[in-house]
A and B are shown apart, each in its own frame.
Chain A
Amino acid sequence: MIKRRLTNSEQPKGRSLWQDGLKRLGRRKLAMVCFAVIVLYFLLAGFIYFAELIDWQVGPIRWQEEVGGAYEGPSSQNKFGTDIFGQSVLRKTLYGAKISITVALCASFISIVIGVPLGTIAGYYRGVVDEIIVWVYSTLSSIPYILLILAFAVVLRDKTLFGFKLTGITSVYLAIGLTSWVGLCRLIRGEVIKHKEREYVLAAKSYGCSGARIIFRHLLPNVFHLIIIDFSLRFVAFIHAEVILSFLGLGEATRPSWGVMINDARIELSRGVWWQMVAATAAIFFISLALNIFGDALRDAIDPRLRKAA
């Protein structure tokens, strides 16, 4: 048999880390179902923003409307019953998705914007800069997380900073974002320290690449998957934090939020009014479950070294 060289088009295509990871992820049916659930929540939040923007009076936007008497149980007309003001619980729950997703997204954004640059700088330049950054995050992480968030939320609430009045959810996502970059920063710093000594970085250095170029062109793309994994796993914690802050009266005050709904349910339960409680719990449960499962699957798919013993 004569061996012949494979032509270019016949050669098996190499796959990048991302292609490979996403392909592996795609094979997991459960993870894909969870991804669909997450997308659904995001679409819902986006849809509510869109509808508010063009003033389109669909159901969730009209949550303020009285659709029945106070505390009417679930019926064919109001699927999840009504609350004390006769407002539809279903509409409030749907609207709550917007608040939760907004808070979690903004908080993630803030923590990535702070955590990633600081972690990279500390890991790449070391020295005094590193020590200062490590000191800052050691200080922050020595205060119990929930207490730190509460302290930030209490102080920032209704404050005017740089001309912005921090009301409702703004102070919530600022509080969560400003306190939760620590874990990400620590992770990125450790990874950058490891990568700094690898051949590809040394090669780039020997070509005379500047520090900024090495960081942006070489280091960041190689630690980027960690940011995505961290983001997907942390999103759940942010949603739960928002619920607790709203419950404690530090969050959204005028619009429906899942935490406020659970707070209302405290009094309602003793009257046998369970639907508001169940609706809010179910809303939180499904997104958390989906994020938990999807986050784990994502980590397994794109970072096999971190794979948990399955």
Chain B
Amino acid sequence: MTTYIIRRLLYTIPIVLGVLLLTFVLFTVVGGDVSIEIAGKNATPETIEEIREEYGLNKPLFLSWDSQFINHFKSALTFDFGRARDRELVVDKIKRGVWPSLALTVPMFFGVLIISVSLALVVAFVRGSAWDVFAVVVCVAGMSIPYLSFILLGQYFFAYKLGLFPIFFSPDLSMAEYVALPVLIGIVTGLGANVRFYRTVMLDEIRSDYVRTAFAKGLDARRVLFKHVLKNAMIPIITRVVLAIPFLFLGSLLLERFFGIPGLGYLMIEAIGSRDYFVINAMTYISAILFVIFNVITDICYGLVDPRISFD
């Protein structure tokens, strides 16, 4: 087990290096020298030179111990991403944004998970009936409506027309207040694809022999569904759940933009608007690291829930 985990962690090293190489190529080689953009329209050549100096843009790209390439690796491995366009440390910005983002995405995630897994169990149980067809139709229709429209209509009806929720973030609101409506909208949007996915998973299980046996020995439906089917459907569920966790830290780009929630999604949108490569670079790198780590955790979880999988 321990050797497996260590080996699995060693496999992540090339991936992390790959991500660093990609972000370097993207933001430094293709992105190019941004000092003129940072300095603004009326900057003197001296200011531009100072900015180049500060961000290290005057150094050679490769082939030197003090090259931009080496510095990119150093700064990423020490999680020191420098300053954003507005002179604030990128790390501080991210630390500030992570809590509102989590407050939005964590309830959303569990809401979607619990509702869609239970709905999928029910739908799989009544498979082939009119209800099943109806559920699939609703799911596919829900998947086809653009995410943006869901948010826009939800905001319009529930916040603007009915006044049940605040329309926009303001500092004097409590977190629960400004997060409530976005969470609701997020759950509704996520249901379509998730119910459909879990339904397929459950159907694969419900057709197996052990389910027939369980029914044959007279167990009631609830017991079969929750004790037998759900347990066996755990592998695909765990994969989906654990791999979704890194995304929770990213917040939701669109929801945060619409409701003005000052999370990481909002930070990202701002960075896109001002072409702030330093922030985008940091976000890309951190999310990739999280993804790689949770990938390892998924693999370990498999072993915990499924004794058939061994770590050799």
Contact = CB atoms under 8 A, between A and B. Distances in A.
Co-assembled chains A and B: yes
Interface of A: 135-136, 138-140, 142-144, 146-148, 150-152, 154-156, 159, 161, 236, 240, 243-244, 247-250, 258-259, 262, 265-266, 269-270, 277, 280-281, 284-286, 288-289, 292-293, 308-309
B44 interface: no
B283 interface: yes
B21 to A, nearest CB: 8
User: Which of B21, B144, B287 is the most central at the interface, judged by chain A CB atoms within 10 Å of its CB?
Assistant: B144
Contacts of A269: 152, 156, 160
B250 A144 contact: yes
Contacts of A236: 144
Nearest to B29: A155
Given A143-B284, A154-B277, A159-B32, 13 more contacts: A135-B18, A142-B292, A144-B291, A146-B253, A151-B27, A240-B147, A248-B272, A265-B152, A266-B258, A270-B156, A284-B146, A285-B146, A292-B144
Interface in B97-117: none
A37 B244 CA distance: 34
Contacts of B240: none
Nearest to A266: B152
B223 interface: no
B15 A139 contact: yes
A148 B280 CA distance: 10
B8 interface: no
A51 B55 CA distance: 50
B96 interface: no
A236 B141 CA distance: 13
A248 B275 contact: no
Given A142-B15, A146-B253, A281 B140 contact: no
B30 to A, nearest CB: 5
Contacts of A244: 147-148, 253-254
Given A142-B292, A289-B140, A308 B200 contact: yes
B30 A155 contact: yes
Nearest to A161: B30
Contacts of B153: 277
Given A154-B275, A293-B140, A309-B207, A139 B254 contact: no
29 contacts: A135-B14, A139-B19, A142-B19, A143-B19, A143-B288, A144-B246, A144-B288, A147-B283, A150-B272, A150-B280, A151-B27, A155-B30, A161-B30, A240-B147, A244-B253, A248-B257, A248-B272, A249-B272, A262-B148, A262-B152, A269-B160, A270-B160, A277-B152, A281-B145, A285-B141, A285-B144, A288-B145, A288-B146, A308-B203
Interface residues of B, number: 51
A161 B143 CA distance: 36
A75 B287 CA distance: 49
Given A147-B284, A155-B30, A156-B30, A138 B15 contact: yes
B247 to A, nearest CB: 6
Contact of B18 (A138, A147, A280, A288): A138
B141 A289 contact: yes
A109 to B, nearest CB: 21
A67 B242 CA distance: 53
B43 interface: no
Given A154-B280, A244-B147, A140 B258 contact: no
B255 interface: no
Nearest to A274: B156
B240 to A, nearest CB: 15
A201 to B, nearest CB: 30
A209 to B, nearest CB: 34
Interface string B5-46: 000000000110011011100110011100000000000000
Contacts of A280: 149
Interface in B252-266: 253-254, 257-258
A146 B19 CA distance: 15
Contacts of A250: 272
Main secondary structure of the interface of A (DSSP, over half): helix
Interface in B145-202: 145-149, 152-153, 156, 160, 200
Contacts of B156: 269-270
B295 interface: yes
A288 B144 contact: yes
B121 interface: no
Given A281-B146, A285-B144, A309-B203, A155 B283 contact: no
B54 interface: no
A230 to B, nearest CB: 17
Contact of A249 (B148, B273, B288): B273
Contact of A289 (B144, B207, B287): B144
A235 to B, nearest CB: 12
B277 to A, nearest CB: 7
A249 B253 CA distance: 13
A230 B186 CA distance: 27
A30 to B, nearest CB: 10
Contacts of A155: 26-27, 30-31, 277
10 pairs of A and B residues whose beta carbons are closest in the complex: A139-B18, A288-B144, A309-B203, A289-B144, A281-B149, A143-B288, A284-B146, A262-B148, A269-B156, A142-B291
A156 B30 CA distance: 8
Contacts of A144: 246-247, 250, 287-288, 291
Nearest to B276: A154
A121 B185 CA distance: 44
A99 to B, nearest CB: 15
A102 B40 CA distance: 35
B306 interface: no
Contact of B200 (A135, A265, A309): A309
